Structure 1
Amino acid sequence: MKISYGYFFVFILFIIAFSSFKRKEKDQQSWIRINLLGYPTQSGKVAVWASKTDQIPDRFEIIEKESAKVVYSSTNIKSFGAYGPFTKTARLNFSDFKQNGQFFIRANGVISPLLLINNDVYKGAADFCLRYMRQQRSGFNPYLKDSCHTHDGFVLYGQKAGIKDSTHFDASGGWHDASDYLQYSTTSANAAYHLLMAYRDFPQVFGDEKQANGLDGKNGTADVLDEAKWGLDWLLKMHPEKDIMFNQLADDRDHVNMRIPKEDNQYGKGFERPLYFISGEPQQRGKFMNNTTGTSSTAAKFSSAFNLGAVLFKSQDTHYSKILSQKAKTAWRFALKKPGVTQTASVKSPYIYAEDNWVDDIELAAALNFKNAKNDALKYAELEKTTPWMLKDTAAHYQYYPFINLGHYELAKQLDGEEKNKITGYYKQGIEQVWNRAKTNAFYRGIPFIWCSNNLTVAFAMQCNWYAGLTNDDSFTELEQANFDWIFGCNPWGTSMVYGLPNWGDTPVDPHSAFTHLKNYPIDGGLVDGPVYTNIYKGLIGIKLSEADEYSDFQSDLAVYHDDYGDYSTNEPTMDGTASLIYLLAAKEAQSKPKKH
């Protein structure tokens, strides 16, 4: 059988470009970055040309993989200057190409990774990321088919509620926060809320392949709802009585070594771990004290998760729904007990979740009680119109959390006229602040490279998506897509930031995780922290790369990312970031289907 030279050429380039292992191509000076997951047929589609030369292509082509034929050619190229490690960059827009299939982009002799275009490119991605959430379970862990942290926990700082230190409360369950085994109420409540919201807004996207305990087997409930309930059950334990609420379980003494969860005994009381009561007052932060000022930020997140859970479980489990509804009320009152933020505590290091805003949390809780608290919701919305990080080039770790104002969305959906326009206008203000930074570079990157920058990127894409849905204003559609594309490979490093997704592309293989490092267990679906400013990276404690940097060609004075176990700042997966991504992936899958007329 004869093979055309054109087909042979593309085939050879395919082999070179898509070998399953990672390697540095020392002679390559230009690259084409794409969303490795692919693009729906009708969506906007932009690749980024990134070069260490002065070259900008004047034309690019799309080559069909199967036939090796050029099926599209375009000069729709928007040139930009230097960015990060690159001298010249450009946006290659092929939004008008609507053929389904598998392709490559070619420009100036450079071939892109495999390009997929069809309306199923995001199918199953949200459920795939649920694998990581199940793997993060504490109590019974379905991935390990074993139990851990069943002795938690003993109380600290409980004097204000008349609780003696070291009093035991059952706090087993929930999710480990990241690759360590700390558990935070604020991130867990936010994660549970995102999962609940994903099921509420896009139930058709999710399957039922697991039991409530996470093991194989259908149980008549969508897996995402099972996962949300796992989080809610733990939050109920963390708010056992109306005047008792805990902010975290365990602390940074966890970081003494890497181990499998059931080996966790770092706190001087066997396998029991400390429970930090929400006192509304400063607590330990290494050699210092944190800046806790009140009870609102965490307690309001509890209230919101309980309220939404009560609505969604009402038709399935009336008794459980009533419990959640009652707890939502007591959590609301706890939030108002002392307005202010509750920060996390640490014992050995200065690193904490330094949350510094709380009115957005109260707004969300009020929005979910709209009939009784509409005026409260509007009042608090006015107090934080724009999530503060959007106005800045940098911020402290989790300083403005969640990274999106969920209250604006839930409130705007229930308003109309001028009231709705005012709230959606707040979203627009934040988007424009980021756009003013993003429009100057080819990646449309306006998100600050702070710790967990991927979490901010996902949140911002959600905000753009919500703004468009609430207003029918598609002005920021390309900006939204650029942020989504960034997560899945259209970034300077050319890698997806989600472990194992897609399984044919470049994704993390050496994350900062005991599961992979000690046991070589895959952490499917975990969203890693993402790139950080180079000056932040250089100032962090205890980072040492364990292997040669396969992305060394793409590091710069601007930002770094390492797929290396030794870099906890850029390559550690997070539970709450993954939960947010599950919502975004569900939205993308649902919206990729052609609308029925």
Structure 2
Amino acid sequence: MFARLILFIALLVSSLALTLPDEPSAVIRVNLLGYRPGSPKVAVWGSLAEQTIAQFQLVDEPTNQAVQQLSAGKEFGSYGPFQQTYRLDFSTFQKPGRYYLRTADGVRSPTFWIGENVYNGAADFCLRYMRQQRSGYNPFLKDSCHTHDGYTMYGPMPDSTHIDVSGGWHDATDYLQYVTTSANAAYHLLAAFRDFPQVFTDGHQANGLEGANGQPDVLDEAKWGLDWLLKMHPTDDWLFNQLADDRDHVGFRLPKEDPFYGKGFERPVYFATGQPQGLFKYKNRATGVASTAGKVSSALALGHQLIRRRPTDETSQRYVDLLRKRSQTAYQLGLQKPGNCQTAPGRAPYFYEEDNYTDDMELATVEQLNVTKSADKQSTTLLNTALDFAHREPVTPWILNDTARHYQWYPFVNVGHAELAKKLTGNRRKTVTDFYKAGIETIWKRAQQNAFYRGVPFIWCSNNLTTSFTTQCFWYRQLTGDRHYLAFEQANFDWLFGCNPWGTSFVYGLPTNGDTPVDPHSSFTHLNNYPLDGGLVDGPIRGSIYGKLLGIELHKPDAYAAFQSNVAVYHDDYGDYSTNEPTMDGTATLIYLLAAKQAERITPTRNATSPRKTSQPVIKQRQPTAIDPKSTYFKGAKIRGDTTRKRLALVFTGDEFADGGSTIARTLRKHNVRASFFLTGRFLRNPAFTDLIQQLVRDGHYVGPHSDQHLLYCDWTKRDSLLVSHEQFLTDLRANYVALNHFGQRYKTRLFLPPYEWYNDRIATWTKAEGIQLINYTPGTLSHADYTTPTDRNYRSSETILQSIQQYEQKHPAGLNGFMLLMHLGTAPARTDKLYTHLDDFLTDLQQKLYRFVRVDEL
């Protein structure tokens, strides 16, 4: 007996030796997606034993030759499974290529890329998961499901009344559908298209099947969500909150028709009453409707703003009008029934326990302001209402707490602060952006003690929180130009893609050849080995939380066993629904973040990786255009194009006035001319000008920056004497780009026309450093004097101005070839002789002379 026992132990030890390889004593964790040349580039070295390092090498992977040897920096001490950690900073290295890191004892990181394009296509990739989550018609399965939804509960109509609510997205591995997560997802997809339209491609039809339809896939996907939201808010005073309940949790299955809700294939759809609900033992703690109504209003309002800009037929116009109407009625429901609208539990105590709503109403109020384009008095009222909501929740509460109930404070980032700040200036704007800063500082105080800069709490859906927090850091940086937290922001992004204790990306299949989830908690993968491309899994949770969860059972040896700890646990095992289940709304928020990462470029600055150092953000995403030998430049600004071609550009600037806007736009359309408009931030934020700006964008004109506050950069008599600092210049220009961003133009504008058309060499240098080309009007005519009034010493009438243009054209061999002819969108009321009233005749005359009018970016 004893001998057999000894033999069994020996065989067991031998078996373990064969099946469980020795874990390395130390590891290096990197962002498996890669790093931008100008971004902070930091890896984390962690040791499972007591050891230290002094240096590390950056190695060119194709040649295995070290290209840099760097100090490992300070010790960060223990964290999770590691007894010692270091942050390995190689930010100074910017040469594109394929690399890895190694230490003297032979520890090596995974291979990674450095390059401008490392994030390209990632946002589009994650849209695959969104399409796979579709209910109604599912393009991944090429089959329909849940087409009988649903029967009403708690509504003003008799219970079990049928209503058509088929469509939308399944929430996660289960097939429940929630308005709160769907509205948040739709908003993030729409905002991604609004802010970064150039990132997305058109490879799928509206139904999700392959084939271009002339519309970016992200907008197709967002519209799928909007369509369902309209079904869930079908009348002025009807709003439903949830489709199905946890009777869904009967086991793994592909989506089809579910017969276990008691009424054929129909599933229950819960009316938003603002009162506690639950058909069985458990009830929620709902206190109102505003948290759901606010999200619905915001998504529908943004959908209205974006879709109405696209070519429409009569049916499309009705749809756009319905989006607007339902956004307004949802907003009114939120005002009428303030409070939290939680989801309804079934037979288990789990539900979305949302306990805040003022963030949702803040965003909804701002979007109502964008939609209604109210008169000044009403606009002021809406703005003040939004500010009131903002002050009631300055910091999203999960940030202030180290734990939370499931989805207790949702969404995980207050989007309203970002959108409200765009509407404000001065101290009021700073107040709102400081709300973001206070939250970032709170997390930073926790994070700065560990090598991963990890301060986001390990609660359920920690990856969703991390994505949202990274987005908050991004928005704060964009709105303020403050780069104090750039390295911290990057560390949170890096965490999602491999720079974490487990060394894994938390997005299925991204990057293609990296360590990513392969066995998520999903019927698609478990039953059919279908890929879940682009799905963001829930993420690590605190060990103490994991130990208390019910129904978790791992089905294979834990590949990450050596890296589990009480700090956090993560399993790539379908049996762990708490850390490895992908979610629809988390993926949608990640799509926004990935689009932002693809779209931006960051110019490195000294100490850019330190959260406590200050610098300025980059505005441009591409290198500036090289000097064109056929163009003319003055003090670094391009002032004329190719003089050998009979082309010129009409340029209009706008700051305070726009009285000529409709006349100019109408005349340009009549002559089929595309012009260029350079607008200040003040002009772009003026609600009275919104329709005009949107029309100019729709008509295909170039819309670019003219500074935010129309600053005078240098002295009129001493041109080399600057009146602004570098920081003031960049902050003002950044604010102008933020305002352009609202109209989808931020990343389309590589040219900058300085305010007052007055600048010097230093301004041109600062502009070029940001990846932008400074331009100015071509001298020789008086076109730019159309703003002068009869009381001005330098007043010029329209007749005088037109004569100056005609005389120049006649006297010079090249005529107006390559000209940038500058005029103004509007002038002070004191000037009654408006030059733009002569635009029709002016265009006719020059077109008869065979001049071709082009945009400045074509000149």
Q: TM-score per shorter chain, which class?
A: over 0.9
State the secondary structure of the residue aligned to 2:574: coil
**For residues 194-246 of structure 1, what are the alpha-carbon distances to aligned partners after superposition, in whole Å with 9 as ceiling and x for unaligned?**
00000000000000000000001000000000000000000000001111110
Give, as a single letter, the amino acid of the residue that structure 1 aligns with 2:122: A
Contact 1:526 1:578 in 2 (8 A): yes
State the secondary structure of the residue aligned to 2:256: helix
Instruction: Give the equivalent residue in structure 1 for 2:307.
Output: 313
1:328 aligns with 2:327: yes
CA distance in structure 2 between the aligned counterparts of 1:190 and 1:476, rounded to whole angstroms: 26
Q: Which of 95, 118, 122 is residue 119 of structure 2 equivalent to?
A: 122
1:84-103 aligned within 5 A: 84-103=80-99
1:250 aligns with 2:244: yes
Instruction: Give the equivalent residue in structure 1 for 2:24.
Output: 28
Instruction: Give the equivalent residue in structure 2 for 1:195.
Output: 189
Contact 2:147 2:257 in 1 (8 A): no
**Range that drifts further, 411-420 or 50-59:** 50-59
CA distance in structure 2 between the aligned counterparts of 1:361 and 1:494, rounded to whole angstroms: 35
Contact 1:32 1:49 in 2 (8 A): yes
Give, as a single letter, the amino acid of the residue that structure 1 aligns with 2:291: S
State the secondary structure of the residue aligned to 1:458: helix
1:3-82 aligned within 5 A: 25-82=21-78
The 1:256–1:472 alpha-carbon spacing in structure 2 relative to 1, beyond 3 Å, is same
Q: Which of 250, 262, 268 is residue 256 of structure 2 equivalent to?
A: 262
Contact 2:100 2:109 in 1 (8 A): yes
**For residues 54-90 of structure 1, what are the alpha-carbon distances to aligned partners after superposition, in whole Å with 9 as ceiling and x for unaligned?**
2221111011111111111111523201100110011
1:552 aligns with 2:546: no
Offset at residue 301 of structure 1 (A): 0.4
Offset at residue 594 of structure 1 (A): 3.8
Q: Which of 468, 471, 474 is residue 483 of structure 2 equivalent to?
A: 474
Q: Greater relative contact order: 1 or 2 (C-alpha under 8 angstroms, separation 6 or more)?
A: 1
Contact 1:285 1:350 in 2 (8 A): no
CA distance in structure 2 between the aligned counterparts of 1:368 and 1:71, rounded to whole angstroms: 51
1:192-341 aligned within 5 A: 192-284=186-278, 287-316=281-310, 317=312, 318-341=317-340
Instruction: Give the equivalent residue in structure 2 for 1:580.
Output: 589
Offset at residue 461 of structure 1 (A): 0.2
State the secondary structure of the residue aligned to 2:249: helix
Q: Which of 90, 104, 107 is residue 110 of structure 1 equivalent to?
A: 107
CA distance in structure 2 between the aligned counterparts of 1:481 and 1:245, rounded to whole angstroms: 39
Contact 1:284 1:346 in 2 (8 A): yes
1:448-463 aligned within 5 A: 448-463=457-472
CA distance in structure 2 between the aligned counterparts of 1:196 and 1:104, rounded to whole angstroms: 37
Offset at residue 115 of structure 1 (A): 1.6
CA distance in structure 2 between the aligned counterparts of 1:76 and 1:553, rounded to whole angstroms: 24
Instruction: Give the equivalent residue in structure 1 for 2:440.
Output: 431
Give, as a single letter, the amino acid of the residue that structure 2 aligns with 1:224: V
Contact 1:465 1:480 in 2 (8 A): yes
Give, as a single letter, the amino acid of the residue that structure 2 aligns with 1:57: I
CA distance in structure 1 between the aligned counterparts of 2:280 and 2:163, rounded to whole angstroms: 25
State the secondary structure of the residue aligned to 1:402: coil
1:399 aligns with 2:398: no
CA distance in structure 2 between the aligned counterparts of 1:62 and 1:260, rounded to whole angstroms: 46
The 1:303–1:556 alpha-carbon spacing in structure 2 relative to 1, beyond 3 Å, is same
CA distance in structure 2 between the aligned counterparts of 1:521 and 1:568, rounded to whole angstroms: 18
Offset at residue 269 of structure 1 (A): 1.4
CA distance in structure 2 between the aligned counterparts of 1:413 and 1:25, rounded to whole angstroms: 54
Give, as a single letter, the amino acid of the residue that structure 2 aligns with 1:403: F
CA distance in structure 1 between the aligned counterparts of 2:191 and 2:432, rounded to whole angstroms: 20
Instruction: Give the equivalent residue in structure 2 for 1:181.
Output: 175
Instruction: Give the equivalent residue in structure 2 for 1:540.
Output: 549
State the secondary structure of the residue aligned to 2:566: coil
Instruction: Give the equivalent residue in structure 2 for 1:3.
Output: none
**For residues 376-396 of structure 1, what are the alpha-carbon distances to aligned partners after superposition, in whole Å with 9 as ceiling and x for unaligned?**
100000000000010111111
Q: Which of 361, 373, 376 is residue 385 of structure 2 equivalent to?
A: 376
Offset at residue 268 of structure 1 (A): 1.4
Q: Which of 374, 380, 386 is residue 395 of structure 2 equivalent to?
A: 386
**Range that drifts further, 65-74 or 570-579:** 65-74
CA distance in structure 2 between the aligned counterparts of 1:51 and 1:536, rounded to whole angstroms: 25
Q: Which of 489, 492, 503 is residue 498 of structure 2 equivalent to?
A: 489
Give, as a single letter, the amino acid of the residue that structure 2 aligns with 1:282: P
1:352 aligns with 2:339: no
Give structure 2 stretches of 5+ with no counterpart: 1-18, 602-620, 624-770, 773-859
State the secondary structure of the residue aligned to 1:308: helix
| Structure (1 or 2) with the larger CA radius of gyration | 2
Give, as a single letter, the amino acid of the residue that structure 1 aligns with 2:506: M
CA distance in structure 2 between the aligned counterparts of 1:594 and 1:24, rounded to whole angstroms: 48
**For residues 289-317 of structure 1, what are the alpha-carbon distances to aligned partners after superposition, in whole Å with 9 as ceiling and x for unaligned?**
21100010001100000100000001223
1:150 aligns with 2:159: no
Give, as a single letter, the amino acid of the residue that structure 1 aligns with 2:591: I
Give, as a single letter, the amino acid of the residue that structure 2 aligns with 1:234: W
CA distance in structure 1 between the aligned counterparts of 2:74 and 2:478, rounded to whole angstroms: 27
Contact 2:53 2:72 in 1 (8 A): no
TM-score by length of 2: 0.66
Offset at residue 368 of structure 1 (A): 1.2
CA distance in structure 1 between the aligned counterparts of 2:148 and 2:26, rounded to whole angstroms: 55
CA distance in structure 1 between the aligned counterparts of 2:280 and 2:490, rounded to whole angstroms: 40
Give, as a single letter, the amino acid of the residue that structure 1 aligns with 2:136: G
Give, as a single letter, the amino acid of the residue that structure 2 aligns with 1:65: E
CA distance in structure 2 between the aligned counterparts of 1:517 and 1:109, rounded to whole angstroms: 38
CA distance in structure 2 between the aligned counterparts of 1:286 and 1:572, rounded to whole angstroms: 26
**For residues 542-576 of structure 1, what are the alpha-carbon distances to aligned partners after superposition, in whole Å with 9 as ceiling and x for unaligned?**
00001111100000011100000000000000000
Contact 2:289 2:333 in 1 (8 A): yes
CA distance in structure 2 between the aligned counterparts of 1:482 and 1:25, rounded to whole angstroms: 30
**For residues 426-464 of structure 1, what are the alpha-carbon distances to aligned partners after superposition, in whole Å with 9 as ceiling and x for unaligned?**
000000000010001000000010000000000000000
CA distance in structure 2 between the aligned counterparts of 1:154 and 1:57, rounded to whole angstroms: 64
CA distance in structure 2 between the aligned counterparts of 1:458 and 1:313, rounded to whole angstroms: 27
State the secondary structure of the residue aligned to 1:369: helix
Give, as a single letter, the amino acid of the residue that structure 2 aligns with 1:457: T
The 1:81–1:429 alpha-carbon spacing in structure 2 relative to 1, beyond 3 Å, is same
CA distance in structure 2 between the aligned counterparts of 1:153 and 1:437, rounded to whole angstroms: 46
Instruction: Give the equivalent residue in structure 1 for 2:431.
Output: 422
State the secondary structure of the residue aligned to 1:559: coil
CA distance in structure 2 between the aligned counterparts of 1:503 and 1:529, rounded to whole angstroms: 20
Offset at residue 264 of structure 1 (A): 2.2
CA distance in structure 1 between the aligned counterparts of 2:231 and 2:552, rounded to whole angstroms: 35
Give, as a single letter, the amino acid of the residue that structure 2 aligns with 1:32: I
Contact 1:24 1:551 in 2 (8 A): no
CA distance in structure 2 between the aligned counterparts of 1:346 and 1:546, rounded to whole angstroms: 28
Contact 2:72 2:86 in 1 (8 A): no
Give structure 1 stretches of 5+ with no counterpart: 1-22
Offset at residue 24 of structure 1 (A): 6.0
Give, as a single letter, the amino acid of the residue that structure 2 aligns with 1:225: L
Contact 2:328 2:368 in 1 (8 A): no
Residues matched between the structures, number? 572
**For residues 501-555 of structure 1, what are the alpha-carbon distances to aligned partners after superposition, in whole Å with 9 as ceiling and x for unaligned?**
0011000000000000011100000000000011111111100001111100000
Contact 2:23 2:562 in 1 (8 A): no
CA distance in structure 2 between the aligned counterparts of 1:33 and 1:110, rounded to whole angstroms: 11
CA distance in structure 2 between the aligned counterparts of 1:264 and 1:505, rounded to whole angstroms: 37
Give, as a single letter, the amino acid of the residue that structure 2 aligns with 1:139: G
Contact 1:105 1:115 in 2 (8 A): no
TM-score by length of 1: 0.95
Contact 1:196 1:224 in 2 (8 A): yes
